[in-house]
Chain A
Amino acid sequence: MESKQLTAGDLEAYWVETPPTQPWIRVGMDTGGIAAGARRVYKALVEARDQLGLPHDIRQTGSLGLSYADPVVEVGDASGSTVVFGSMDEESARDLVRQYGRDGNLLEDRVIASHDRGRAFDGQPQTAILVKDTGTGKSEDRTAVFQELIREELVVHGLDKRVKVYRAMDMGLYQRGICVQLLPSRVTYADVHGPDIRRIIAESLRGGQVLEDLLETSGELQERIVLRHCGRIDPDELDSYLRAGGYRGLKRALLEMSPEEVIEDMKVSGLRGRGGAGYPTWLKWKLTRDPVSDRKFVICNGDEGDPGAFMDRSVLEGDPHAVLEGLMISAYAIGADTGFFYIRAEYPLAIERVQRAIDQCRAAGLLGPNILGSGFSFDARVRLGAGAFVCGEETALIASIEGRRGSPEPRPPYPSVKGLWDKPTSINNVETLAAVSSILDRGGNWYAGFGTEQSRGTKVFAVTGKIRNPQLVEVPMGISIGAIIEDICGGAVSGSNIKAVQTGGPSGGVIPREKMDVPVTYESLQELGSIMGSGGMLVMDTSDSMVDVAKFYLGFCVDESCGKCAPCRIGGYQMLKILERMHSGNGKPEDLVIIRDICHCMRTASLCGLGQTAPNPVLSTLQYFEQEYLDLVSAPVTGTSRPRRKVTTSLKGF
């Protein structure tokens, strides 16, 4: 099909849902998965399958987001049942094919229980039980003990041949004591105690009754829109994307709507820029559509430079066509004929997959002249970043695509009026564009149904740091930070306590533990002195120094300052010197006054977003953890600092 020009009719044929007819295995092969050994796992799976002559269709896919469990493998069959296995290696891959693929047995300590929990058995006999001690904060891990107890009880009832018991790797429930999930129904019981086991076996397994008092009724907190295909399709295959409903949004826009109607639908959806600033997407498009110009451009900003964030990389690697489709829709809406993907050079796999997606679309006639017979012509190219954080700023990004140093320009004029090669240009973030293709497919009203009044839809976060299960999550706006941290990611790493969560990276701030119930929206995070940002969410525990973290982020911004304007170039450097001096025990009480002054100056007088927001990590740690700064200026932290200071004083006499 690579050389065939697709028509609207061809696309529709792809969209007819066809359930799989044979069992399949998917291996998460994004950068994270590959780093953890996914390529070796893939090879071992293929070899084992061929050796046993099994029919499984083995495919690569993007990331399901479960970074803590990389490499991740998902197995499914024609009946529609799927099981996710985590922390795989070559040996467990061979076991998986043999034990599960051939014999239908699960693996110990590898299964990640489904969050899509069942409520009833529907008369179906249950064949497996997953068990996991999700902790109570009091005792040792009792998973193995309960596994044995359940097995013994199964023997009593003569069910031990039919029902197997496995230790799960993760239940998606935390601090809920012993949890069990019955398969295939996915009925899940939490806070299970010793005496409950008898009831579960007798009443649930034998009697087919759901035990309402133990039943876990909480559902999936995540809502996957941007990540809808990540970990589900093969990112290197146009076919795979099309079968998942791909380019349906493009077809609807090109053949059924005028550009104005597309912008109107975006307005209804309420989508705001997911790069961090939250500017309404429809308005950006309208402002770029309005000016009269011989050429216009669209750009996908994939210069994800925030240290500790990997949302955009995951989307580009897991679902490049969804972003390309979004870019094409934005081009149609504003009347552009050329688009650019600006991607970090440090993301070679993302670059490769996006380039492949572009080549496939050119071959299929989805890029080029007169797309789908609509009269709309468009082509896209990839341009690489070269390791400059400031190039995430739109005017610097434009300079970089033009082949120049990435120095920002004062705005206005905004790129919507005077952008790439002085032509009107619309720049959208990767996540925004992946949402666009989904919105045009399902309608603005559908998308507006998620989130809050001011912050519609969903947001992807990369949760990392001192967290039990670091991962990529996509949640409806308005959910609390606490729910993301505690309920989805399992709270602090064992044995520690969360102190604060940092959002927005070097441009953001910290949110202390006491404010964890605050809803995630653009406005509420700003009120707390942080920002939504692009989606990095860094969890810190009580062993982390807030001054050190502020120093880390500031050091990053000083390194990355382009040096064009004085407040950022000089202010950032001087403030970093003061913080370093304080940290080494030579701080003075008046340092805090100077720091606040510099922050104020940088915020108000810097040329671009980098300098204006660089003080945020310092200001917000000062706001919530001022005592840590005061401790540094009042008492020396190292033994050597006092004498050194005395020497300086005594030298003054000379």
Chain B
Amino acid sequence: MTVETELGNILEWVKSMRRRVHELAREWEDEEGNLIMILHAIQNEFGYIPRGVANELANELGINMARIYEVITFYNYFRLTPPGRHHIQVCMGTACYLKGAMQLHDDLDRELRLLEASGGREGEFQLESVRCIGCCGMAPAVVVDGETHGRLNPSDARTILKQTRRA
């Protein structure tokens, strides 16, 4: 790819991003207090809230960038960095915690470090602990790329990673 085409692609992306933000702002124009709903739509589309997009949104809505950042940083749900290719969420609700979610999280963390040390791709997995996902009947539970796995043993950590890589 030449420098020219690469730059062209980036410019094209910026143009389409601008168009999208404009559309979203119009869509929510008549709704009071629309900021959080627009941010949800942006995160759904981009996987996180890129700074450039937030800046564009500030221009569109005629508000300060700080107004947007105070909201993004207040709420846990909004991300400022791109998510990994595979997303692993360990439920840290009370029922899961009592049934060993912490251990499960630590085991997954250790396995991921080993994987990275042995030449695994960076950013392949993103591990995080999340608030109760409401599957308390299946505690402890882990969500991998949107699919929930329940009633896990500590030894299941390795199996989960293996299956996810293969998929």
> How far apart are the CA atoms of A465 and B138 in the complex, in Å?
10
Q: Which of B36, B94, B139, B150 contacts A400 (CB 8 A)?
A: B36
- With A384-B40, A386-B75, A386-B76 known as contacts, the answer to whether A462 contacts B136 (CB < 8 A) is yes
**A471 interfacial contact with B, CB 8 Å:** yes
Give the A interface residue count (CB, 8 A).
51
**B120 interfacial contact with A, CB 8 Å:** no
A403 touching B36, Cβ below 8 Å:
yes
Interface residues of A in 412-459 (CB under 8 A from B): 421
**A313 interfacial contact with B, CB 8 Å:** yes
Interface residues of A in 389-415 (CB under 8 A from B): 389, 400-406
B94 touching A552, Cβ below 8 Å:
yes
B33 touching A401, Cβ below 8 Å:
yes
A406 to chain B: which residues have CB within 8 Å? Answer: 74-75
- With A384-B37, A386-B36, A387-B77 known as contacts, the answer to whether A32 contacts B135 (CB < 8 A) is yes
B99 to chain A: which residues have CB within 8 Å? Answer: 465-466
Give the B interface residue count (CB, 8 A).
37
**B90 interfacial contact with A, CB 8 Å:** no
**B71 interfacial contact with A, CB 8 Å:** yes
**B10 interfacial contact with A, CB 8 Å:** no
A-B contact pairs, 20 of them (CB 8 A): A31-B133, A32-B138, A35-B141, A35-B149, A35-B150, A70-B137, A70-B138, A306-B132, A307-B97, A308-B95, A346-B77, A346-B131, A385-B75, A386-B36, A387-B76, A401-B33, A403-B32, A405-B74, A464-B95, A470-B137
A464 touching B94, Cβ below 8 Å:
yes
A32 touching B134, Cβ below 8 Å:
yes
Residue of A nearest to B35 (CB): A403
Q: Which of B37, B75, B95, B134 contacts A388 (CB 8 A)?
A: B75
- With A386-B78, A538-B98, A552-B97 known as contacts, the answer to whether A68 contacts B33 (CB < 8 A) is no
B77 touching A466, Cβ below 8 Å:
no
B132 touching A307, Cβ below 8 Å:
yes
Closest 8 CB pairs of A and B: A67-B137, A35-B148, A387-B76, A386-B75, A387-B77, A308-B94, A403-B33, A403-B35
A345 touching B77, Cβ below 8 Å:
yes
**B59 interfacial contact with A, CB 8 Å:** no
A553 to chain B: which residues have CB within 8 Å? Answer: 94
B71 touching A68, Cβ below 8 Å:
no
**A246 interfacial contact with B, CB 8 Å:** no
Map CB proximity to B onto A365-401 as digits: 1 under 8 Å, 0 otherwise. Answer: 0000000000000000101111111000000000011
B70 to chain A: which residues have CB within 8 Å? Answer: 405
> How far apart are the CA atoms of A552 and B33 in the complex, in Å?
34
Since A35-B135, A307-B94 are in contact, a sample of 20 more A-B pairs with Cβ atoms closer than 8 Å, ordered by chain A residue number, is A31-B133, A34-B148, A68-B137, A304-B134, A305-B131, A308-B93, A345-B40, A346-B131, A347-B134, A383-B37, A386-B39, A387-B131, A388-B74, A402-B33, A405-B70, A406-B74, A464-B94, A465-B99, A470-B139, A502-B94
Q: Would you give the shortest CB distance from A106 to chain B, in whole angstroms?
A: 24
B131 touching A307, Cβ below 8 Å:
yes
**A597 interfacial contact with B, CB 8 Å:** no
Q: Would you give the shortest CB distance from A534 to chain B, in whole angstroms?
A: 12
**B104 interfacial contact with A, CB 8 Å:** no
> How far apart are the CA atoms of A386 and B39 in the complex, in Å?
10
Residue of B nearest to A405 (CB): B74
- With A306-B132, A406-B74 known as contacts, the answer to whether A32 contacts B137 (CB < 8 A) is yes
A505 to chain B: which residues have CB within 8 Å? Answer: 94
B131 to chain A: which residues have CB within 8 Å? Answer: 305, 307, 346, 387, 389
